[in-house]
Every structure is written in structure tokens, then in C-alpha cells.
Structure 1
């Protein structure tokens, strides 16, 4: 009996498989799983399901291909057909390596996985360890950020589909670059979601910011949990992905004794053992809760890492001076210093934006600094600004270089957003391509409401449905050849190389980090073993007391090593050694 088309469907009383135009009755089995004994055993098949006699077939919830979009028929895909060439690839695991976040649709002019392969050599020269792809699962329309996906097992066809995804991962691995995939399990997009016609995948009356919540703890939730866990394992087994970034895990409502995140981590660890290579999960969370990355033996969920937005906020405020909304608590050099030493700024402190206390302190004896992924820019922090403006829209070279130093010379796992490394001037606004006019209108109006609390001018918000908004987000690679951009690119390349060359910059121990700073004079010294990272955040020259004998990297000319101090120009930064350089 073929299991190619088995489907879980507890709601309908009758299910018919439509395969290559042929109607094949299905039989209900144990656990509300339906099978089709007379279904095709091999070959490519376009198929769907008729539920309770409805005339229009709907896709498979576990569809591997949607060549005609999320409302069309599913198509079979054999993940074993690809001849992998990445046997020599050895993943370093999550060890503080540099992550490069990219959106396939705007990374290249063509916006496909195959065209992105052509830019991998550039990333090799930059020195990144991993690329992190924004969600690629199937969504309605031709382009969006990826967080409106509805078929989690299918790769978006406008990107090239699943075969192209395998080619991309294979090509990355052959060049020594790992792949992290951003996945969304906290909600489904508004168009093309047929899951509720099959079974109670979602919880009625339970919703989060983006829509109905996944049914993780109600009746029939065992199958739903298997559904999302199998999706995680698919990326590892069928696509050779090294790690997953789990979107907004704070929106996963689960009151069962074993949280779904703990199940994810256990399944990932088991898969890692079976495949004989490191695999890891990184949570996006604004909870500042170290339980996510604490080991399961200590009562934690056992995830490898989590994002720390506090680092971004502290750097952003100290470089830009913006203090609206959630930035208000970070208006001090001391906030940046605390993030470096404690990991979180809000670790049980009062959050004025939330109007309550927030977070919990990290136990540095059991949690590594590498378990926190940090950035100075990312898709959310740029795209959720009114105009989608990058730091390059308001800051010059000196402060952009400072941002690079704070990120790449820090103790955490640094992440870059595509184009950041050369100061890309192209914006990255929120964009959609909903075919339904009413949905497009509602999306545009919703974006305007979201910006009210941040105090941004609604007149500067581009229409997400306008194709020009999407086009504006595509990187202009010609900028890398312009002197001003090439200068910043050189800083990023040098910093990444320095991170590889200097063991102190790779030390994940919070205990090996110390910070001195002056609130009045606006300078900061980050000490990492025998290295001192000195940053002048003010707009005048400063002399900073620090023993340094060798400058390893300087972002602006004019620095001077003096007895017991370093003189830095305005907005300058240096990485210096307190020990003389030893050569043999």
C-alpha cells in the first residue's frame, strides 16, 4: 500500500484523492489518518483532496511542492533525487561564528535561490560562517518577507522550489558556509490556509499578534505537535540545513508539562546523533528568559541559542540618539555596558515600554555568551521602521564602523543583515503581494496603526502592496565598488578576520568580559582577555585611560597610543592589545 498520499483529517467524513485528474476514494484508518490503496506508486503526481464532497481539491498540509501556488494542487517531490556533493562539509555548530541574514527575494536582482549561489563567493571573501535565510515556505503571491507562509513543508516556487533549495545548501557547504533556515510555527498566513478544513490545527478563540494560535495543548494536539516537529526534521534530513531560527517563540502557546520547544530540542539532538553532525535551534524571543537556552537537565528547554534584542537597542540608541518607544530605557552608555557583561539589559528590571518588570538574569556559570545572537541591524529592526530605513540613512561611515566593532568584537554570536557590511543605501521596507485587494488594503492600514506608538510619521510609510516598495528593497551590488562603501566593507572583512585570528575575541565566557565607561564623556572600553575594544561615542576627541601597546584595528585615522591611554578621534574605535605582538 502506498503511503505517498496519506493525510491526517479528523474533521471530514469522506476524503477523495485527486491524483493526475483521477478520483481515488480514501480509507480512514487509526488516528484519523486516511490512505489511498489505489494511488500511484511512483512518478511525479499533481494531486489534492476533496473533503466531504466539495468540488475543489485542496493541497496536502504536508505538500512538498506547490507549482501553481498555495491554492493549487500539490506535487510530489523526491528529496532523495539530489546527488549531494557536501560530504566534506563539517559544521562548526553554534560556536560564535558570524551569521549573515538574507532574504532570497531581494538579495539578488533575480531573487532566486540559484542566483544567490552566484554571490556565495562574495560571502566567502567577507568571511561569514553561516547564512540565515528568511522564511522560504510557500506563501500566496509572488513576494513578501516570508512570514505569511501557509504550507510549511513546501519551498516557495518563485524562489525556485525545493530542488533549487537543495542546490543552494549544497553550494554553500562546498564553499565552507553553513545554512540556518528561519521557520515560522507560531501562526499561518491569511491566504491559502486550508489546515482547519482537515483537523483542529489551530485553537479556536486563542490568537496572537498575527492570527490564530497553533493547537499545541488541546484535543488532537499530539498530531499537531508531530506535524511541526516533522517539519523541523525535514530541514535537517532532506535539505542538509545546519540550524533553524524559530520565529517569535513567545507566541507559541503551550501549557503542557513538556513545552513544544523542549520537544523540538530533544528531536534535534536525536537527529544530530543519527546524522553524525551538529544541528542547532535558535529562538527569536523577547522574553529575556534564559530558560530557553538552559539545558534540559537543569529544567530548561535545551535550545542552542536565542536572539537578544537588548544589544541592538543599546547600540542603536547610543549611535543614533533615538529614544522613542522601546528605545527609551537604553538611553545611556551604561545600558550598552550592562548588555556586554550581563547579556540582557532587562534581566528583572522595570521596562517602561511594557510598563512592568521584565526578564531574568543569566547564570554565567552555565550559559555561554555565544548562545546569544546579536546584531546592530536585522530584517525586523529595519523593516519595522516607518520607511524601512537602514542605519546608513542617518549615520556616516564613522558610526557605521563603530557599530561593526561593537558587534563583531563583542562576546556574543554576531549577525549581519545583508548589505550592512558595505553600508547599503537601499531601504528594506515591509512589502507584500496579496492577490486579494481587501487583504492588501487591510495590511496597509494595519501597518499605519503599528507605527503610532513609536511616533513615526505615517506619511513616510510606503504602501506594502506597491511593487515599487518591493523593488526598492533589492540590494544594489554596484555600491560595493564605490569608495565610501568599499571602505566600510574593508572594516567588516578585517573585523571578521580578526575575530578568527584572536582567541580572546572568540572566548564565550561571560567571566572574561569586563567594561569601563564614562557617561559624561561617552566612551566605552570592552576588555576581552588581553584585548581592549575602545569606542568613542562622542563627537569630540577623547583620551581614554587604558593600557595598550599594539593597535590591531582602527576604524578612523588619527588614533594615538599614549602612556597609559588611547587618544581617539570623534566616533573612533580601535581594537588594541595590552600585550606586545610576538612573532617568530
Structure 2
């Protein structure tokens, strides 16, 4: 049963699941005021069709002749999370009929928050920036959650109407316009969805049915009932939601937030069934569809194929970030205590997981499992994302903590890692405006609880929070998160932007830099802080050297080829480097000197070693 207010040729069909209610009435509010009894079926769905109902009408449901509530499957909340729902049609003039999606191995992700990515904070305001993102080499934009949340300011993880699109962003039509424009620009679109919990304000699902369970808890409140009594219809609600993003909104992928908080002990878990259904929808819609899971468990079963695994296509890899961040900043608080040096980054580059069953001091137990059967295209890596920036006390970005040479080094590590790279908005030019946590709850007690919770969190995580924590409810906190986009091509910011563009161009030019299964990868490190990366395959060999140490490293290059060609050198003057240039071509057994925070990559081709020239 499709829930919600659905316009058809016969009128508008209203359907809601309320299995334990003895009566359910449709209440029309504007422009018509009327109350209509709904009919119940055996599964507990209440429905009625009104031939005269039109787009734009406001309505709600009255349960047991008493309280009135918005539609749990509302598509629009024009008066906020506590107000009535609105009928919105599905019609839209799509022009992306030829779009077939982006192969998973080609994904280069750019995560953004709609409300702060532009000063206007709308879907429409993003449109003029799509061409520049494509020029940079981005292949997919990833939107933080857009489901209707309280107020106008929120990260999106407090959404309480999974089917409604935040009205202050531009609503359903604004979102469809953005997706359509992205496809026209050659960009895939990923939506972050939250299936592990709903926000605390405006969450009326419990009034309708057993959507939540007391068996489990999440850090953010009650867990969704995916495996208890009546869970079939709860799962159906979320399957309907996932399919709507693919089928109606034409999204290419969903990022599944914190799947470790989706508790499900059933024999056929929700995530496994969602992956299976997504493959069916892919065949039905005739284009590539992807699910990206976020998880902190380092559990390879998430992405292993069925049977034996859940069959999700890909997942985020936090260990890569933690190992890199620890090296670049020296921070040891919180979960960074588990990462010890360049050897851990070498391990992350080689296999993704660092904690693969070894002891975690942060958790005081062993953590993770060996990433067996995981393909490189199944791991998304990053130096920054909304969590790793915004969940810091001040929301400070990496560019505020490290020097320019280290920023270049971070870009090279992430973009040439051989995994799926992700950039967080503004990272490509070294944005220094923070991305702090912000909310706009109407409930004053809830706001105070959020403030106190943030203080407790950072008292435990940071020895020094870096000053007073920004008030998450203050508008100034929200405004501070708007990036300085207009300065992206100025000074060193322009150099860093151009470096990102060139690195992504190299990734397209040389298949050995993409997540090919046929490429052999080895990583070694030494006590001086030097990291050596070697790749073989796709008709060439690649040797990379990255110096995380405090002094220059002398490197002897042992190559089978007579001569190898330099393709990346962070010390070139155009990258504002030290000027200690390594030669463009190396003879066998050559020695080069690499300054601290320097990076250099050489390539040799199997077809004509020694004779290949730069394009």
C-alpha cells in the first residue's frame, strides 16, 4: 500500500497505516474544510479517495476522534513540522531521459549542505555552481539530508517527514530541478537518508503505529522497528521512501546514515532486502543505482555479496580519515588514539580498514574484521566530511589546523588513493570557515538539552575544546558555516583548487589510479615518515613517495624500466612548492630528495619503456 496523498486520474487517494486505531478521519483544512471517514483494511491501512481534491490542499488525520496529526508520509509541510500536510503532485518536466548514471568505479563525490553551500541556501542557488564542479572533476554531488526538519536551520539528521522535502530549501520541485540540472551537467546525485532514527521534534509516527521499538536504542533516541511485531509494514514504509527517491526524484544513489544504528536481528535484514530491491529497481528504471552505507563497525559483511553478506554496493571508510588526520594534525584525543603513525596510513591505503580485528584503546576491545572480498570501488575515502568537521567542538576545518603543504599532501593521498574519493564542500580550495553543528528547534527545553549534550560530548572527546562551543541554536553559528566560495580562485586557494583539478584529471587519464581489480597495490613505510606506494597494472607501473616526516628523505628508485616519467610533484613552483624539483625523468637506480610534506609520483609504461613522452 502506497502511503500518502497521491494524485491519480480518479482524484486524490489518501492512505495511512494506523493498525491499532479504531477510527481514522481525513480532515481537510484549506481551501475546503471537511471531515471524511476512512476505511480500514486487514493490515491496518486506512484509505479514502476524493475525486475533487487538488494539488495545494491542506489536510491532516484525526485519530480515534481526538487529536489531529500531519500525514506520516507527507510530501510537503508548508507550515513546519507541526502544521498540516499539503497535497503535491508528482508531475515534472524531466529532460534526463538519456541519463544512465555513473559507474560505481567512476564516482568522485562532493558532499554539500544545501542550507549553507550558498548564501541563499536553496536548491536553485546550487545550479550556477554545477559547471564549476564538473570542471573540477566531480562526478557526483552528495546532498546532506533534505527531509523536512524543524525550523530553517539543521544539518538534516533531525528530519521527521522522510517523504517531505525541506520547504525552506525549495521543496519537491526545487529538488527535482536540481537533480535534472545535475544530470544535464553529467553529474550523478546522491541523497543522504536517515533510516536509523527520526528527529525528536515533530515526530508523530508513534501516534500511528509501532514504528519504533524498546528492544534497542540509538544515540539519538528510539530505534526503528525493523525486526519486531508489525515490522513488515514499518519496513514497507522505508522501502517506499527509498524507491521514491530513485523512481520519482531520479536520484542515482542513497547514502545510508549510520547503518550500525539500524538494529535488525531478523534472518532477512532490512539492509539486505533494501540492497536486493535496489537491484530490482535498477532493472526496472534502466539505470545504475547505488547504496553507500555509513558504518563505524569495519564489518566487511556489509558489502560482501549475497549469500554471506548483505550485498550493499559500497561503504564509507572512516579508518582512512582517522589515520590521515592523526598524521597531519598530531591529534590523539578520542578515536584518534587508535592510530599511531605512517604505517597505519599505509595499511589504510592498502586495504581500507586499519582496525581489522586489532585492539582499540578507544573502545577498550578488539574492533573490526579483515576486509576480505572487499573491492577498492566499495570504499569511499576522505580527509574531511560533515561529521569529521562538524562534530569537532568548534566545527573547524582541516585547513585551519595544518599548513598549505599538508593540505596539498592530503589532497594527493585522497584523490590518488585508488578508492572512491569524497570532498566536503570548500575543501578543494582550503575553506577555513567552520562547519559547526546547528539546529532551529521550537521547543526551548529541547534546545537546552542540545546545548548541554554538546558540552558533555566535547568534555569527553577533547582535552582542549578550543574555547566556548558555538551555540547550536544561534543564527550566527549557522551563518558562520557558509563557505567563502567567491575566494576559491584567489592566491593559494586558487592553487589548491587547480591542484585538485589536475589530480582528478590524472585519475581520469590513468586507469591505474582508479579502483581497478586488476591493479596490484603495495604500501610500505619507514621510521622517518616516508610512505611508498606502488601500483602495477593497466599497462603501467606507478611509484609514489609521500614524506610525512620532519626532514627531507633521500629516495632511491628501483625500477624495471629504463626510464620513468614524473606525473605529480607537489614541490613545483606552480603548486607553491619549495622548488626542490625532482627530475622529469628518472634513470634506473636514481636518487631523489623529497622535502617534508612533499609528494611525488612516477609512472612507467609497459608498451615502450624509456621512449614514452608526456602528453
Cα separation, 1, equivalents of 2:104 and 2:52: 42
Per the alignment, residue 122 of structure 2 pairs with: 112
Give unpaired runs (5+ residues) of structure 1. Answer: none
Asked whether the equivalents of residues 88 and 174 of structure 1 are also in contact (C-alpha less than 8 Å), the reply is no
Per the alignment, residue 62 of structure 1 pairs with: 73
**Post-superposition CA distance 1:231-287 (Å, at most 9, x none):** 111100000000000000000111110011001101100000001111010100011
Per the alignment, residue 20 of structure 2 pairs with: 11
Secondary structure of residue in 1 paired with 2:151: coil
| Aligned-residue offset at 1:480 | 0.9
Per the alignment, residue 545 of structure 1 pairs with: 556
Per the alignment, residue 158 of structure 1 pairs with: 168
| Aligned-residue offset at 1:59 | 1.1
Residues 1:496 and 2:504 aligned together = yes
Asked whether the equivalents of residues 102 and 134 of structure 1 are also in contact (C-alpha less than 8 Å), the reply is yes
Length-normalised TM-score, structure 2: 0.91
Aligned partner of 1:554 among 548, 565, 569: 569
| Aligned-residue offset at 1:553 | 1.7
Cα separation, 1, equivalents of 2:543 and 2:469: 41
Aligned partner of 1:429 among 433, 436, 453: 436
Residues 1:523 and 2:530 aligned together = yes
Per the alignment, residue 32 of structure 1 pairs with: 44
Residues 1:479 and 2:487 aligned together = yes
Asked whether the equivalents of residues 100 and 286 of structure 2 are also in contact (C-alpha less than 8 Å), the reply is no
Supply the RMSD in Å over aligned alpha carbons.
1.6
| Aligned-residue offset at 1:74 | 0.9
Residues 1:309 and 2:309 aligned together = no
| Aligned-residue offset at 1:582 | 4.4
| Aligned-residue offset at 1:37 | 4.5
Per the alignment, residue 591 of structure 2 pairs with: 565
Per the alignment, residue 322 of structure 1 pairs with: 331
Per the alignment, residue 129 of structure 1 pairs with: 139
Asked whether the equivalents of residues 11 and 54 of structure 2 are also in contact (C-alpha less than 8 Å), the reply is no
Aligned partner of 1:358 among 356, 364, 367: 367
Secondary structure of residue in 2 paired with 1:30: coil
| Aligned-residue offset at 1:547 | 4.1
Cα separation, 1, equivalents of 2:463 and 2:261: 26
Per the alignment, residue 414 of structure 2 pairs with: 407
Tell me which moved more, 85-94 or 558-567: 558-567
| Aligned-residue offset at 1:357 | 0.6
Length-normalised TM-score, structure 1: 0.96
Asked whether the equivalents of residues 98 and 415 of structure 1 are also in contact (C-alpha less than 8 Å), the reply is yes
Asked whether the equivalents of residues 350 and 356 of structure 1 are also in contact (C-alpha less than 8 Å), the reply is yes
| Aligned-residue offset at 1:39 | 6.2
Cα separation, 1, equivalents of 2:329 and 2:516: 28
| Aligned-residue offset at 1:52 | 1.5
Residues 1:388 and 2:383 aligned together = no
Per the alignment, residue 444 of structure 1 pairs with: 451
Residues 1:398 and 2:405 aligned together = yes
Asked whether the equivalents of residues 93 and 242 of structure 1 are also in contact (C-alpha less than 8 Å), the reply is no
Taking a change above 3 Å as real, the CA distance of residues 38 and 171 of structure 1, as seen in their structure-2 partners, is closer
| Aligned-residue offset at 1:501 | 0.3
Secondary structure of residue in 1 paired with 2:528: coil
Per the alignment, residue 575 of structure 1 pairs with: 601
Secondary structure of residue in 2 paired with 1:185: coil
**Post-superposition CA distance 1:40-64 (Å, at most 9, x none):** 4544321110111225x31111111
Aligned partner of 1:419 among 426, 434, 453: 426
Cα separation, 2, equivalents of 1:477 and 1:108: 8
| Aligned-residue offset at 1:578 | 3.2
Asked whether the equivalents of residues 24 and 38 of structure 1 are also in contact (C-alpha less than 8 Å), the reply is no
**Post-superposition CA distance 1:1-40 (Å, at most 9, x none):** 7662111101321111012321111122221111125564
Cα separation, 2, equivalents of 1:217 and 1:223: 11
| Aligned-residue offset at 1:546 | 2.4
Cα separation, 2, equivalents of 1:432 and 1:337: 38
Cα separation, 2, equivalents of 1:224 and 1:508: 39
Give unpaired runs (5+ residues) of structure 2. Answer: 1-9, 573-579
Aligned partner of 1:168 among 146, 159, 178: 178
Per the alignment, residue 207 of structure 1 pairs with: 217
Asked whether the equivalents of residues 14 and 49 of structure 2 are also in contact (C-alpha less than 8 Å), the reply is no
Cα separation, 1, equivalents of 2:557 and 2:518: 21
Taking a change above 3 Å as real, the CA distance of residues 107 and 456 of structure 1, as seen in their structure-2 partners, is farther
Per the alignment, residue 377 of structure 1 pairs with: 384
| Aligned-residue offset at 1:460 | 3.2
Asked whether the equivalents of residues 13 and 49 of structure 2 are also in contact (C-alpha less than 8 Å), the reply is no
Map 1:276-287 to 2 at 5 A. 276-287=286-297
Report runs of 4+ in structure 1 exceeding 4 Å deviation.
none
Residues 1:270 and 2:270 aligned together = no
Cα separation, 1, equivalents of 2:258 and 2:270: 13
Per the alignment, residue 347 of structure 1 pairs with: 356
Asked whether the equivalents of residues 412 and 508 of structure 1 are also in contact (C-alpha less than 8 Å), the reply is no
Map 1:189-208 to 2 at 5 A. 189-204=199-214, 206-208=216-218
**Post-superposition CA distance 1:216-237 (Å, at most 9, x none):** 1111100000011111111000
Map 1:220-239 to 2 at 5 A. 220-239=230-249
